[in-house]
Chain A
Amino acid sequence: MEKLLFLGDEALAQGAIDAGMSGIYAYPGTPSTEILEHVQKSKVAQERNIHREWSANEKTAAESSLGMSYAGKRTMVCMKHVGLNVAADCFMNSAITGANGGAIVAVADDPSMHSSQNEQDSRIFAKFAMVPTFEPSNQQECYDMVFHAFEMSEKHQIPIMMRLTTRLSHSRSGVVTKSILAENELKLPKDSRQFVLLPAIARRRYKMLLDNQVKFEQESEMSPFNKYIDGKDKSKGIIACGIAYNYLMENYQDKECPYPILKISQYPLPRKQVEKITSECDEILILEEGAPMIEEMLKGYLNNSLNIKGRLDGTLPRDGELNPNLVKQAITGQKTEMNLIPEEVKGRPPQFCKGCGHIDVYTSLNEVMAEYGDGHVLADIGCYTLAALPPFEAINSCVDMGASITMAKGAADAGLFPSIAVIGDSTFTHSGMTGLSDAVIEKTNMVVIISDNSTTGMTGGQNSHALDRLVGICEGLGVEKDHITRINPLPKNREAMAELMRKEIAYNGVSVIIPTRECVQTLKRKLTKK
């Protein structure tokens, strides 16, 4: 037993290592990235040779993880919330195949969209898939829950979701660790058809999943992580989920909370405890980080039974993350008095690093696009998305990983000329390749710029699967050799780059331009290491 300082992400990773995990799979994404990174830094992981390489995307990661579970070993796949959309096909179906070795799907949500396109709540996905979910409220629970989750996964042969949110993923606190468990032996599923989802088998397994819901509910009712804390004043009962429980308790540091509290950290909801609090209390306040999921469940469509307060009736804001002040206001009606931010304070948006190659790419691109007017550049997600802001204001879209190429294709199909896609190297191997194949098949008139900084920059510089492979991949997908061009995006090459763009715009078909120069951050790190 040792007490260590861990981010929520790191506590989760350490818990998994100590609980005998044999492999972790992930694609980086804030705020989940540090989970796999922690395993990469771990000595034990090295000694045990725990699988800990990055995957091409969340789908390949989830499937590899399921494969490891199939082979009987404990495994975890990690992603940010929108990554679950990419992995959804595997995730939904893995609820039906079930698990063999303990399988955890760790998803870090980002309410308030600190670094994301949306704030979707992964608990809803888990409910959709009918998969049990753990939602830790602190770093210690992140660690401890992994042990329970693996056990439960093996006991009921079901993958388990572990749902984190930004403020837990990226907050550090002391964690007491346990002694490390042995890894599982390789062991194939008892039923050789468990993972064969032919309709006849899938129907049977789906019924099993439905039947198992009762057991999952019982697990939640017995869970050490769900807590009923009685209170004398039954005029109000409070259901607090995950990290929202901390915001509640922050308001009762020095005094007891007079109201009954039901802390939820394991789903499906513990029915008995929910029945108890709703029958005993006149009014129920629901504190949940993310969507009003429980609130909607308890309210029902017609809203004709219970007196429920939360995000839907305006007691709490409908969107954004919670905090201790919002919770206080929801309970007492008191607003917090606070200083204002002086007018002098100006916004300081993130920017391209000095010397970044993306700057040169956009300088050339803006020069060329000035000849055609606005609205021709469909871009993607990464550092290069910063070109949406001044001074460049060069791009017209950023939707989901890979959508640059496919949206540029659709726009070209609609008649937009020129139609330009801008995508990063890691995003390209994440989900740009299939879209490029679509364009090649149809000989779509478009230019794809893969702005290659040879790393996954936005999330801190993880290895990029595209490293030194882009030309080969594009050739393999069928782009004509004469229309795949690499160029070094240096200030001195800006004119040449603009010329190249003009030339490829003039070509009626698919062209790929690959400006390649290493990210200044990863380069700096390499140089200081030497």
Chain B
Amino acid sequence: MIEDHQTQQVPTNWRDAAMQQRIKKRYAAEKRFRLFGFTTVIFALGFLVFLIGDVVLKAFPAFTAAEIQLSVTFDSTAFGLARTRADIDAAEYGAFIKAGLAKRFPEAQNRTTKRELRELVSEDAERVLKAAVEANPDLIGKTKVFWLPGSDIVELYVKNQLNAKGVVGERLASDTMLARLNSAQSNGELRKTFNTRFFSAPDSKHAELAGIAGSAKGSLLTLFVTLLAAFPLAIFTAIYLEQFAPKNHLTDFIEVNINNLAAVPSVIYGLLGASVYLGFMEMHRSASLVGGLTLALMTMPTIVIASRAAIKAVPPSIRDGAVALGASPLQAVFHHVLPSAMPGMLTGTIIGMSRALGETAPLLLIGMVGFFGDIPSSFNDGTAVLPVQIYIWASATERLFAQKTSAAILVLLLFLIIMNATAIYFRNRFEKRW
């Protein structure tokens, strides 16, 4: 029967036209697929470049601040005779600034124009003067020329952004103000500086003073808490479920629930955090501790799932090899399975942490979305985090805040890059050891 079949079989003609046609079709399909793939990659890259380019361009002005030159006289009557520390603290530096401005712009006589004068110099200037006197009490009674931080108007003027039309909430300087700015500019009394304050100051109601330091530190503290709470818990959960737990209905149930937890909208975790940490455990509202623990609830399932996949990917033969040498199950897991799974676990952790870094919704419910004028100094201090800061600045109308929004986005991206780089570093380190 088999022989019969063979004698009947016609040899395939690999060269006939239909066959050539099929070959052509196959190659064409492959070419098409590559082209599609290439196009989509280019498309995605284009979006990325556009997004980042746009953010960078918009953020750039935020790194420039303006300073205005002013000759300030420290009237000795404003300080007590003893010129004690308390005297220096209590002195009215605003008055010195007012006097200095009045001297520089003597044409301002009525109340309105005088108030306008004051708007040239940022509130922070008082702190600058005070610091100068504290550092050098001999200044009292003397006159000195200072470069003082300019107000938002000065900053916009220096950046050529004053009176640009079409910006919502744009500050419009009056004609007299503009004349003064022009005269100061032509006298070389205005200058641009690098905006160090943006990196060292907390948020502020004054656009020119607002900085990223408060929310950046808030993010760091929060993420630290998240990592500390979520990582060990998740790793141990994953190890237990994957390597030790008996396979029964209970563990099936747990598995299904962990997968469900990873898909729960993050705002729900905020509710949970609010009721457990704030309501039941009475922790501090808006604190990075509460924020971190809330985000840990959200991050844990993600790490568990990634870690279980990583553990599952370790060939059982490795574990068998260790067990056959007389390693206890615990030793086999910790000496062999875990190191092999670690890169995957770390990747999962970083993915979870990156998500936590960008979260705002759950923080809404524990009071972390709001204005915080201080840099948090402990885990119990109320603080915002970077995405919250971005949200708050983005909804402010001043143009300077718009620039800071982009700058804050850049800082957030930088955080993400650092985190991913760390993950890659650890991954390579673990892999090299083998």
Task: Say whether A and B bind each other.
Answer: no
- The chain A residues found within 8 Å of chain B, CB to CB, are none
Please list the residues of chain B having a beta carbon within 8 angstroms of any beta carbon in chain A: none
